[in-house]
Chain A
Amino acid sequence: MTQERFLELADAHGGTVARWPAAEREAAATLMAAAPDFAQRVLAGADQLDGVLDAWAPFSVSHALNRAVIDGAPTIHPRRSLRTWLLGAGVGAGLAGASAAGLAFGVALSGNLASTTDAPEAVSAAMTGYDDLFETSEGA
């Protein structure tokens, strides 16, 4: 590789030879060994520009953007579809009724114990637990 070519590559690709075209790196290394002062001077000059360019940090992905992109994907939601189906089939109402009945039974048994949980909350808790049965594994 000529010194002129070495200069051209540094001009175009910057001061890190590892980022130069793969086909040119070996010849560049040979030139660096043969003319270290020249090579160092050229690479240091290109490095300076690289360093300045790197000060422009990219935008970060906001939570809202991330959410919008994921929500835009045509994924299958087994939890939602199964739940919808079950509710449509009346099973949800049955479960809610069973939860409420269970709560009422528990309160009646406890007698003088004050309960801080009302029926709607219990139904909601029951449904949440029910939902969890259908949570899909979300590890990436």
Chain B
Amino acid sequence: MDSDPDEELLVRVARGDPAAVRALTARKLPRLLALAGRMLGEVSEAEDVAQEAMIRAWRQAPAWTPGVARFDTWLHRVTLNLCYDRLRRRREIPTETPPEQVDQGPAPDRGLEAADVGRRVAKAMATLPDRQREAVALCHYQDLTNIEAAAIMGVSVEALESLLSRGRRALRLALSDLMAP
């Protein structure tokens, strides 16, 4: 395993260094929130998950053993486990109204059209089976390598590729009207 780029910060976090806490938050929180958002599609749930994952990171820092796994891999796995807890709860307690879908709101640099497309993508992602959505979230959106994503998901790279193919094929079908023939 290559050296862990988060290791030095973790050591400082474990010592209670506030600057390291802020640096690790800036590095990880946006990525965890993005991942939880892709998996859950709803902002307040995604925020709860990202916050809980970071709290677990703070608890883990003093006990972190370098060289066993990358901290980022561990943190992604924690976040995904928390997402699956939420998804399971949703299935156990079906609600009358589906969870509020992603509402990006058109940012100054994105037109209304991009926001509409974004909403369509969110909806299409929400219809994917969980493991396919996870594979697309990790590889496409989190920009992880196939080896990293497979490690996080606990599958072989071949199985990951199969999940990705099926996920992307379903997305292509659902979003085909947004693409040139």
Contact = CB atoms under 8 A, between A and B. Distances in A.
B37 A59 contact: yes
B161 interface: yes
Contact of A56 (B16, B122, B164): B122
B29 A61 contact: yes
Contacts of B102: 56, 59
Contacts of A57: 104, 107, 110, 118
Contact of A65 (B33, B114, B168, B175): B33
A48 to B, nearest CB: 5
Contacts, number: 129
Contacts of A75: 16-18, 21
Interface in B75-133: 102, 104, 107, 110, 114, 117-119, 121-122, 125
Contacts of B145: 21-22
B47 interface: yes
A55 B121 contact: yes
A125 interface: no
Given A57-B107, A74-B58, A136-B18, A21 B146 contact: yes
Contacts of B152: none
Interface in A38-93: 48-50, 52-53, 55-62, 65-66, 68-70, 72-77
Interface residues of B, number: 58
A124 B78 CA distance: 45
Interface in B13-55: 13, 15-23, 25-26, 29-30, 33-34, 37-38, 43, 46-47, 50-51, 54-55
Interface residues of A, number: 37
A11 B139 CA distance: 13
Interface in A79-131: none
B1 interface: no
B178 interface: yes
